[in-house]
Amino acid sequence: MALRFKDFQTYIYIILMAIGLALFVISSNDLIFGNKALINNGITFKSAGPWNYWIFTLGIIMTGLFVYLYAKTMSDVSKFRRLMESDSKYSFMKNMKELEAISQRLGTTYKERLTAAKERWKIK
């Protein structure tokens, strides 16, 4: 079984969100706040010169984008779990297209869970 991006997307989103937040905090300190404690410890982008504004912008964009993607993924996980907990075959069948779409977006673990639920309800 090959590992795919979808199987690790939440971890990747968290890591990239943290990197974006670090870029934003460090560059905003250089451009706006000027906290000497960070600058004296070498946590600065002052050597980047005018590129610091681009680093600041990249930090904002990365943080916002990956917060959104992480929230969307967690929303899909929550919706998948809620739809899988149905007590009737009718409601499970009614939500089948949505469950398949969500499991496709979330990766192999959720595809396996959906396949197991289909076998439990004896659905092909």
Residues 7, 5: Cα–Cα separation, whole Å? 5
Q: What is the pLDDT of residues 25-67, one digit of tens each?
A: 999 999 999 999 999 999 999 999 999 999 999 999 999 999 9
pTM: 0.86
Give the confidence band of 117 by pLDDT, cuts at 50, 70, 90.
very high
pLDDT above 70 for 1: no
Neighbours of 112 (CB within 10 A): 11
pLDDT for position 122: 87
